[in-house]
């Protein structure tokens, strides 16, 4: 009897747990809210728009926040092409396309002042938020105010804090951005892909003193774009529904973003046809994904290229690194062509020459990658006085062994490259001390003990980009940006300081004429190439899969889903 | 009894308090949450400094712990960076029901857990039911026919099942039943998620999407637990009272179900009872592969970003569940076993 009671009680506890589990999960099994009455624009009754079909996209990471102010996640940023358009977007050639702005400001159309410090942006007068409220210059002025407010814990204020004096609404459709000094990358950094709805967020700011916890950050049911936010179920999916109020109404009924964190699972979902667009694929997946015939893998550059950043700071670098012949020898002694062939896919990831090879038109087509020439490398090292005098297999000079600290983060591919390079260097008598850091430590600033910023290396390897599609990255190579105890925020971790380079970098940062700027970048690339201050390893485009179920997809590196309004499903 | 329960609950308070201190100390080793906020572009040094100040991460660990525990709404904090506190703190502390906000999403931790917990419970609950039913059935049947062909087969399969890594099993099931079955034109299962966007969130969709993750979670546990049931049943079946019952001519079915099973099941129930609090924590690998939006993934995602308020929230929830289920287990023991007195 007692035993039965025990059994019954235990099973009762178990059953109650299971029942509560089922009860708790009820919301997940409710029928779908297709009516969307809470989120659908409330203003005009569209005359039965012919929206049809769903585009399913897999994201391998979940956006943390949808409000521009609180996220720098790429996966959040790219959703804004659907629901939070800014002044302009970028097409598949990364050329600016006006969205809320009526035209792209230029000196010719009077949008840019001669001194380059005043940008006057004409807005379209027919753009409305999804709830029908017009989008005006006031929304942009309010957005600036929110970025700069001390009451909001925003992720970054750049470039507003450094370059923008004021953002004002002259009238509803005229926005004036006053700069402190000419700032060449304005087109890709100032309201290009976001704006906040003043009529929604100002009341929150007034009531709570901050918009940090605004409901809109998680559920921006009022937006401006071809789609409008409908629902976000944490960890599962985000749904955007067609927005008939947008100036270019979409063809699809909805975009369904599914969060699939596991790469292998995403691959299975792509092959099975459970997703139309897959992201962040690796080159070794291409063959498998395309085998079925209904999936295309496309490489789209978002400006990234993998490269070596040599440390040439006399205070921290190995003495050999200060000699350009040694730096050149490092490049010549490394068979980057074979590395790319064996570890990546040559067609997708060719060896790059300059930092800007993925950011046309700022690349310098006249330059060729340093060849693989170990004999020439040996000759240069001999010439520089680095010879193996003690017969230990490693070159030395004045009692200092030529052993270089070669660092990168802990990504597996990079570790493999390190191992291959170490072996290749040994053939010419260069020793390599390989070090790997977790990403957060690798990128740390000087005061947080970052190995790069403190110069605890000779060669650092990583993939980087400017303000793509803008090439700006001068803080990496300006003399006054060299990081040190006195200048812990300096972004020039390599200790590069060349007068001519410095002048060119400063000039381009204030040059608004694109052709002139391209020419300046060609000169900059030439100096970096001659001085061997950047050694390209491979171009690092993003790989996307597109199922032929979804058509008219033209991905852009700068704003991937810029033409989402043209997408449609195959009949 | 009431006194006992009250005393145990009173003991639980310092217990949870100490757990929270240990967990918070361990959190300090998780890395820098601000460093991961920039995602692809590393955040600028001045932004990092400003964020640390605004989020209170520049304070010593014990101050951060106290803020997490009792809040800071009774003091002023420095938001504008001039070194003078001017803004009222907004946090209330966990003792007043404020489980803090995520550093990454800025959302209340309790709300984030509330989003995920039902998904985890439905998946883990279903898996637990399957595990119990199949472990009992297989273990019992094997014990009744020890060393038969069936028993040997189950033993062999159990070893295979038990030694399979979860991620491998999950991906194999996905490739066979979701990818290849579709390619071969057979009825197939979905790869990932909880429902198909076109079909919507219906119970049928949910069940279809649960089959593979539940199978993954169950196969390995069934392999282990059925062995457990088998051995404990074999032991009981050789006891004197079972022989006596048989000698008295009691029917086999009755002997097994009435006399042997309840005794053999006791340790099994203890084992299952220990599993229950951890149902809340979810299954990290299975949830990740099948893109199931549960607690395991919440934990994993926020571990990689050193989002300690969320991690603290999940770990404290599991700790509370463990403490409560320990008390419940003890009470249940005292009810069924006269030798145990809760005084």
H runs (alpha helix) in A166-295: 186-189, 198-208, 263-272, 286-290
Give just the sign of the alpha carbon dihedral A127, A129, A134, A137: negative
User: Could you give the C-alpha distances from B304 to B15, B33, B35, B45, B114, in angstroms and in order?
Assistant: 28, 9, 11, 21, 21
Closest residue by Cα to residue B112 from B321, B313, B277, B290: B313
Q: Which residue has the higher pLDDT, A21 or A295?
A: A295
Chain A: give the shortest CA distance to residue B343, in Å: 20
Would an 8 Å CB–CB cutoff place A20 in contact with chain B? yes
Would an 8 Å CB–CB cutoff place A513 in contact with chain B? no
**pLDDT value at residue A7:** 42
User: What tens digit of pLDDT does each residue of B10-42 get?
Assistant: 999 999 999 999 999 998 887 778 877 765 566
CA distance A452 to A445: 8
In the stretch 199-238 of chain A, residues with CB closer than 8 A to chain B read 212-213, 217-218, 233-237
Here the tokens at position B69 are 């525990």
Q: Complex ipTM, two decimals?
A: 0.88
- Using 50, 70 and 90 to split pLDDT, how confident is the model at A38? very low
CA distance A70 to A541: 26
With the CA atoms of A202, A203, A208 and A211 taken in that order, what torsion angle do they form, in degrees rounded to the nearest 10?
-40
- pLDDT < 70: residue spans in chain B: 38-42, 336-340, 342-343
**pLDDT value at residue B250:** 87
Nearest CA in chain A to B280: A21
Closest residue by Cα to residue A65 from A189, A210, A220, A201: A220
C-alpha count within 13 angstroms, C-beta hemisphere, residue A345: 15
Would an 8 Å CB–CB cutoff place A72 in contact with chain B? yes
- Using 50, 70 and 90 to split pLDDT, how confident is the model at A6? very low
What does the pLDDT average to over A1-26? 40
Here the tokens at position B31 are 């890395």
**pLDDT value at residue B339:** 66
User: What tens digit of pLDDT does each residue of B260-314 get?
Assistant: 887 887 778 778 777 788 788 878 899 999 999 999 999 998 988 889 999 999 9
Residues of B in contact with A153 (CB under 8 A): 51, 54-55, 106
**pLDDT value at residue A26:** 33
In the stretch 73-112 of chain A, residues with CB closer than 8 A to chain B read 73-74
Contact in structure between A469 and A521 (CB atoms under 8 Å): no
- Using 50, 70 and 90 to split pLDDT, how confident is the model at A22? very low
User: What tens digit of pLDDT does each residue of A391-428 get?
Assistant: 999 999 999 999 999 999 988 999 999 999 999 999 99
Chain A: give the shortest CA distance to residue B127, in Å: 10
In the stretch 212-241 of chain B, residues with CB closer than 8 A to chain A read none
Which contiguous run of DSSP H or E holds residue A242? strand A237-242
Would an 8 Å CB–CB cutoff place B290 in contact with chain A? yes
CA distance B98 to B178: 43
**pLDDT value at residue A123:** 97
Cβ separation A28–B301 shorter than 8 A: no
**pLDDT value at residue A25:** 33
In the stretch 20-39 of chain B, residues with CB closer than 8 A to chain A read 31-32, 35-39
Cβ separation B293–A259 shorter than 8 A: yes
Would an 8 Å CB–CB cutoff place B165 in contact with chain A? no
Bridge partners (DSSP) listed for residue A296: A546
User: Global pTM?
Assistant: 0.87
What does the pLDDT average to over A289-297? 94
Question: Which range is least confidently modeled, A33-37, A545-549, B123-127, B292-296?
Answer: A33-37
Residue A19 has pLDDT above 90, yes or no: no
In the stretch 259-298 of chain A, residues with CB closer than 8 A to chain B read 259-262, 264-266, 268-269, 271-274, 292
């Amino acid at each position: 009897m007692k035993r039965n009671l025990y059994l019954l009680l235990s099973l009762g506890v178990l059953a109650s747990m299971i029942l509560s589990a089922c009860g708790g999960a009820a919301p997940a099994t409710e029928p779908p809210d297709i009516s969307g009455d809470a989120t659908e624009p409330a203003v005009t009754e569209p005359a039965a728009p012919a929206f049809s079909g769903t585009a399913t996209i897999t994201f391998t990471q979940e956006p943390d926040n949808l409000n521009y102010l609180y996220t720098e996640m790429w996966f959040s940023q790219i959703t804004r092409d659907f629901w939070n358009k800014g002044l302009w977007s970028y097409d598949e050639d990364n050329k600016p396309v006006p969205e809320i702005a009526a035209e792209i400001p230029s000196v010719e159309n009077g949008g840019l002042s001669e001194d380059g410090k005043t940008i006057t942006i004409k807005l379209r007068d027919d753009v409305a938020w999804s709830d029908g409220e017009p989008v005006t210059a006031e929304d942009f002025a309010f957005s600036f105010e929110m970025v700069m407010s001390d009451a909001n814990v925003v992720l970054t204020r750049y470039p507003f804090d450094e370059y923008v004096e004021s953002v004002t609404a002259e009238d509803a459709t005229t926005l004036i951005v006053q700069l402190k000094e000419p700032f060449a990358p304005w087109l890709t950094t100032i309201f290009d892909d976001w704006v906040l709805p003043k009529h929604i967020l100002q009341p929150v700011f007034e009531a709570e003193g901050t918009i940090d916890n605004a409901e809109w950050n998680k559920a921006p049911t009022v937006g401006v774009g071809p789609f409008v936010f409908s629902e976000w179920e944490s960890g599962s999916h985000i749904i955007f529904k067609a927005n008939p109020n947008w100036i270019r109404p979409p063809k699809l009924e909805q975009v369904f973003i599914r969060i699939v964190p596991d790469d292998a699972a995403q691959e299975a979902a792509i092959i099975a046809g459970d997703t139309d667009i897959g992201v962040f694929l690796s080159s070794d997946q291409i063959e498998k994904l395309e085998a079925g015939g209904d999936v295309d893998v496309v490489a789209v550059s978002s400006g990234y290229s993998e490269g070596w950043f040599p440390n040439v700071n006399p205070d921290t670098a190995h003495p050999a690194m200060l000699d350009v012949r040694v730096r050149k020898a490092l490049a010549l002694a490394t068979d980057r062509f074979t590395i790319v062939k064996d570890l990546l896919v040559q067609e997708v990831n060719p060896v790059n020459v300059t930092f800007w090879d993925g950011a046309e038109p700022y690349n310098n087509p006249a330059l060729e990658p340093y060849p693989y020439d170990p004999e020439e490398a040996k000759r240069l090292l001999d010439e520089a006085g680095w010879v193996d005098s003690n017969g230990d297999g490693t070159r030395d000079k004045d009692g200092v062994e030529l052993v270089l600290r070669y660092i990168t983060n802990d990504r597996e591919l990079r570790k493999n490259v390190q191992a291959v390079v170490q072996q290749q260097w040994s053939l010419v008598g260069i020793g390599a001390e390989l070090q790997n850091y977790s990403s957060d430590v690798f990128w740390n600033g000087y005061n947080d003990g970052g190995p790069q910023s403190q110069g605890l290396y000779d060669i650092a390897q990583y993939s980087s980009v400017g303000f793509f599609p803008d090439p700006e990255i001068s803080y990496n190579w300006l003399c006054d940006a060299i990081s040190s105890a006195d200048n812990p925020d300096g972004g020039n971790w390599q200790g590069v300081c060349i007068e001519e380079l410095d002048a060119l970098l400063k000039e381009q940062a204030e040059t608004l004429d694109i052709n002139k700027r391209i020419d300046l970048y060609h000169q900059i690339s030439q100096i970096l190439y001659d001085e061997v201050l950047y050694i390209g390893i491979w171009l690092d485009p993003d790989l996307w899969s597109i199922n032929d179920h979804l058509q008219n997809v033209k991905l852009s590196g700068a704003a991937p889903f810029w033409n989402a309004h043209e997408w449609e499903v195959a009949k | 009894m009431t006194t006992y329960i009250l005393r145990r609950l009173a003991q639980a308070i310092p217990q949870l308090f100490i757990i929270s201190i240990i967990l918070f100390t361990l959190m300090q080793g998780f890395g820098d949450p601000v460093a991961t906020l920039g995602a692809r572009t590393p955040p600028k040094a001045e932004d990092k400094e400003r964020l640390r100040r605004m989020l209170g991460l520049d304070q010593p660990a014990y101050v951060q712990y106290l803020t997490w525990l009792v809040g800071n709404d009774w003091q002023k904090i420095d938001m504008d960076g001039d070194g003078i506190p001017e803004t009222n703190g907004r946090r209330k502390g966990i003792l007043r029901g404020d489980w803090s906000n995520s550093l990454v999403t800025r959302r209340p931790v309790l709300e984030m857990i509330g989003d995920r917990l039902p998904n985890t419970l439905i998946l883990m609950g279903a898996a637990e039911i399957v595990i119990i039913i199949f472990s009992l059935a297989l273990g019992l049947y094997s014990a009744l026919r020890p060393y038969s062909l069936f028993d040997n087969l189950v033993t062999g399969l159990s070893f295979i099942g038990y030694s399979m890594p979860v991620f491998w099993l999950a991906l194999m099931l996905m490739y066979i039943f979701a990818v290849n079955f579709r390619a071969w034109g057979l009825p197939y299962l979905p790869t990932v998620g909880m429902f198909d966007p076109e079909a919507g969130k219906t119970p049928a969709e949910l069940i279809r999407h649960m089959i593979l993750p539940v199978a993954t979670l169950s196969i390995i546990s069934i392999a282990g637990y059925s062995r457990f049931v088998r051995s404990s049943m074999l032991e009981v079946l050789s006891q004197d009272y079972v022989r006596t019952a048989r000698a008295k001519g009691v029917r086999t079915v009755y002997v097994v179900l009435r006399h042997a099973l309840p005794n053999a099941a006791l340790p099994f129930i203890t084992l299952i009872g220990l599993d229950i609090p951890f149902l809340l924590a979810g299954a990290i690998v299975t949830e990740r592969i099948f893109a199931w939006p549960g607690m395991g993934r919440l934990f994993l995602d926020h571990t990689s970003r050193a989002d300690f308020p969320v991690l603290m929230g999940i770990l404290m929830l599991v700790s509370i569940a463990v403490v409560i289920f320990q008390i419940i287990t003890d009470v249940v023991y005292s009810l069924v076993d006269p030798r145990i007195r809760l005084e």
